Amino acid sequence: MSDTPSRDWQDSVQFVRGVGAARAAQLARMDIHTVRDLLLTLPRRYEDRRFLAPLRELRPDEWSAVQVEIVKAEWMQPRFGKGYVEAVVADRSGRARCRWYNAQYVRDQLAPGERVILFGKPVLRKGGLLFEHPEIERIREEDDALLHAGRIVPVYPLTENLGQRAMRRIVAAALETYVPSLSDPLPAATRERWKMPELREALRQAHFPAARADAVRARERLVFEEFLCMQLVLAARKHQTEHEIKGRSLQPTGALREKLLAALPFELTAAQWAALAEIRTDMARPHPMHRLLQGDVGSGKTVVAACAAADAIECGTQVAVMAPTELLARQHVKTLETFLKPIGIRLALLVGSLDPKEKTSIRAALSDGRVQLVVGTHALIQERVVFKDLGLVVIDEQHKFGVEQRGRLYGKGPQPDVLVMTATPIPRTLAMTWYGDLDVTTIRELPRGRQPIITRVIGERLLPKAYDFIRAQVAKGRQAYLVYPLVSESEQSDVKAATAMIEELRAGPLAGLRLGLVHGQMPGDLRDRTMERFRVGEYDVLVSTTVIEVGVDVPNATVMLVENAERFGLAQLHQLRGRIGRGMHKSYCILQGHPNTRDAWKRLKVLEETTDGFRIAEEDFKIRGMGNLLGREQSGGVVLRVADPYRDTAILEQARQEAFRLIAADPRLRESDHAAIREQARSLFRAASPFVKVG
Ligand code: ADP
Ligand code: MG
């Protein structure tokens, strides 16, 4: 019975009838702390136990629920083979047998004379029906029985010592006590528009549905609400960025950019021009740009970013380029130098390994404006750098940043423009969630003249052939990458292994070729020299132990052999593969995988089928799952309890549409009809919530 009508479902789950300290501890293991957590822990599946058939009407091999009495239960131990509990059960219409192998404890749960509900799929044995390992539920009181049978019954995710029946009872108690006083946070108009059931109804139907279709609708309703809250946060943030937050209006003549473009050995593609136009429009507006620039590897994002940098610098402001790792920062500064040094821009690199004196002098040069563009790691630039006048921030993101962090990158005053670049194309689901507050520019077209890369996945046996192929390409004047992911306990032994390996190659399959080696533990200058020698053709083959080393642009390299390719993610391999096929020659990527890991093999085959980075990214995210990507730490408190952006993409789209509609009409959600959903969004996405900030 419900006592006080105004109970808050944010109450601790311990307030639910039947939940004591021990149960609460079990529930906590499933991340269930409040009543709300409990009610939003939806069943994994449902079992239809609406019809309790008499035993004589059961048919073999069909899932059935029966209500029976235990006649006897014994532990049987045959001389050979597994022991088992055998029970005889009966109802008025007949008898059946049940068996539980290797489960002596079951016998003690089955007292003769007791009434139970069995759920399982009986088989025909010796002329009678036999249930093997049926689910048993004891019936103690009549009304309790109604929870577990005679209806569509929920089956929950569980944890140790927490059984289905206990879980059902707890949920039922919570529904009874808390749900009547819940009010629906969805604005009435929204619910109407999307034909959503009311919250109380949805919660009841999600747990104890009258029909399967009701359960589906109920879940969709709860998913929609969760997505709506998330999307409201993103939509509000985007609205503020575009209309309220003060930015700077950068309106260059374009003279510096023209110089940069004139010095390039190529023309920009139409897609690059279009991207640049969007960025220029954003930069000219008096509000900060928050734009994501995505494009497949090799689509030429860097040049576009360099042009934007030239524009910002022409306007007298500074540019910060932030990379997730020091290695990437070093790579970026080199690439950008080739574009920007010739037109007189002063660049600097700011990374942790510089000596303190150097760092101090770079910081000084940034604060007085002598350095116009700095490349560094996120941490370094974010924390301790004072700019004379920061106009543009370019973030090379690599999924390291969440919505929340983006929101608080910069201090007071007019905000700089922000261009986020992703190293891999992002799937639509991510574009709507992680990046949901950004405008998106996509470069779909690759520069012309690129040859499609031929990719083959091979087993170990074909490795000698792969080496032969490399030799043949080198004989034609081409160069090759050999990527070899090492995994060992220590960096020390990785170095040893790398050195041993190159000796082996030199003595064996690649004898006579000029081999260069780069690995992760190599001093930076030595690595740079090695790469440079490869670039100018002094090495035929560059052997590399990590991905990142292969950051050079060598159009003459036409083969890449990746050994133990299953150790890389698909997107990573795709990225890696982007290092070949950069020139006019046909290029080949050979991925050697271990056939004993079947799934890895299948995954690798995706790379054989397509060079479309968007599809590959989609596959990769599907495999790694959303959980990884929107984990608690990374997402700044964005935790989804019922919704799954992959499974529920269609609902995500609807919620996004609705959120943008609501925010357009009522940017701060101040109308009374929007108060409840605003509070809900704020409490769910506290860290990322923009409703309280600004103005
Ligand atoms: P991304 O960063 O998108 O992977 P990059 O900017 O590194 O791609 O460009 C890949 C290569 O293509 C670089 O060598 C770059 O100089 C070259 N490139 C960029 N734009 C063009 C273009 N329009 N035509 C020909 N080559 C281009
Ligand atoms: Mg690049």
Contact 65, 148 (CB under 8 A): no
Whether residues 465 and 404 share a domain: the answer is no
Q: Examine residue 618 and state whether it is found in any structural domain, yes or no.
A: no
Residues 91/108, Cβ–Cβ less than 8 Å: no
Q: What is the C-alpha to C-alpha distance for residues 104 and 63, in angstroms, rounded to an integer?
A: 24
Residue 432 lies in a domain: no
Question: Measured from the CA of 303, which atom of ligand 1 is nearest?
Answer: 6
Q: Which atom of ligand 1 is closest in space to residue 297's alpha carbon?
A: 4
Same domain, residue pair 354 and 485: no
Using an 8 Å Cβ cutoff, are 22 and 166 in contact? no
Q: Cβ atoms within 10 A of the Cβ of 587, count?
A: 24
pLDDT at residue 1 tops 50:
no
CA distance 298 to 278: 20
**pLDDT score for 6:** 53
Q: Which of 150, 169, 187 is the last residue of a domain?
A: 150
Is 418:285 a contact under the CB 8 Å cutoff? no
Q: What is the pLDDT of residue 127?
A: 83
Both 508 and 560 in one domain: the answer is yes
The mean pLDDT value for 4-20 works out to 82
Query: Ligand 1: does its nearest atom lie under 6 Å from the Cβ of 687?
Result: no
Determine how β-strand 128-132 pairs with β-strand 94-101: parallel
Q: Are residues 272 and 417 in the same domain?
A: yes
pLDDT for res 629 = 44
3-state secondary structure (DSSP) of residue 301: helix
Calculate how far, in angstroms, residue 648's C-alpha sits from the geometric centre of ligand 2.
Answer: 33
Separation CA 424–CA 624 (nearest Å): 15
506 and 399 in a single domain? The answer is no
214-234 as b/e, with b when 16 or more CB fall inside 10 Å?
Answer: bbebbbbbbbbbbbbbbbbbb
Residue 643 lies in a domain: no
Shared domain for 405 and 514, answered yes or no, is: no
Residue nearest to atom 19 of ligand 1 (CA): 300
| The last residue of a domain, from among 422, 442, 464 | 422
What contacts 24+ positions apart, CB below 8 Å, involve 357-365?
none
Mutate to test the pocket of ligand 1, among 303, 304, 335, 556 (most ligand atoms within 8 A of CB): 303
**Whether residue 624 has pLDDT greater than 70:** no
Q: Could you tell me where the beta strands, DSSP code E, fall in 196-289?
A: none
Residue 73 domain flag: yes
The token pair at 420 is 């986020």
Q: Give pLDDT, residue 410.
A: 57
**16 CB neighbour count, 10 Å cutoff:** 26
CATH number for the domain spanning 322: value is: 3.40.50.300
**Is the pLDDT score of 412 beyond 60?**
no
Q: What is the C-alpha to C-alpha distance for residues 308 and 313, in angstroms, rounded to an integer?
A: 9
Domain count, the chain: 3
**Of 610, 629, 646, which residue constitutes the final position of a domain?**
610
CA of 554 to the centre of ligand 2 (A): 13
Question: Is 196 within the bounds of a domain?
Answer: no
User: CA-based diameter of the chain, in Å?
Assistant: 95
Length of the chain: 695
Do 409 and 460 share a structural domain?
no
Q: Is 424 in the pocket of ligand 1 (CB under 6 A)?
A: no
Nearest-angstrom CA–CA distance, 400 and 394: 14
Average pLDDT score over residue span 522-527: 79
Let me know whether 414 and 517 are in one domain: no
* Helix (H) / strand (E) containing 687: none
- Give the residue numbers spanning the domain of 374: 255-285+300-422
- Give yes or no for residue 300 CB within 6 A of ligand 1: yes
Is the same domain home to 314 and 372?
Answer: yes
Ligand minimally distant from the alpha carbon of residue 301: 1
- Establish if 164 belongs to a structural domain: no
**Torsion (CA) 500, 506, 507, 509 in degrees, nearest 10:** 110
Based on the domain organization, do 466 and 412 belong to the same domain? no
Check pLDDT > 90 for residue 28.
yes
Give the mean model confidence (pLDDT) for residues 1-21: 77
Question: Which protein residues have a CB closer than 5 Å to ligand 2 (ion)?
Answer: 302
Each residue's pLDDT tens digit, 52-82: 889 999 999 988 889 899 999 999 998 888 8
Q: Is 14 exposed, middle or buried (0-12, 13-18, 19+ CB in 10 A)?
A: middle
Per-residue pLDDT of 341-373, as tens digits, reads 999 999 999 988 889 999 999 999 999 999 999
Percentage of the chain modeled with pLDDT above 70:
88
pLDDT at 383 over 90: no
Mean predicted lDDT score pLDDT of the chain: 86
Element (H, E) at 323: strand 318-323
What residues does 415 pair with on adjacent strands?
A: 247
pLDDT of residue 627: 47
CATH number of the domain within which 66 lies:
2.40.50.140
The distance from CA 140 to its chain's CA centroid, rounded to whole angstroms, is 45
The answer to whether residues 278 and 364 belong to one domain is yes
Q: What is the pLDDT of residue 141?
A: 62
Q: Measure the CA angle with vertex 625, ends 624 and 630; round to 5°.
A: 115
Q: Which helix (H) or strand (E) holds 403?
A: helix 403-407
* Same domain flag for 598 and 502: yes
Q: Distance (Å, rounded) from C-alpha 375 to C-alpha 386? A: 14
Model confidence pLDDT, tens digit, residues 631-675:
333 343 446 889 888 788 899 999 999 999 999 999 999 999 999
pTM exceeding 0.85: no
Residue 596, domain member (yes or no): yes
For residue 415, the 8-state DSSP code is: B
Residue 309 lies in a domain: yes
Best CA proximity match to 419, nearest among 604, 546, 276: 276
The tens digit of pLDDT for each residue in 221-265 reads: 999 999 999 899 889 989 988 898 888 899 999 999 999 999 998
Q: From the CA of 301, how far away is ligand 2's center (Å)?
A: 6
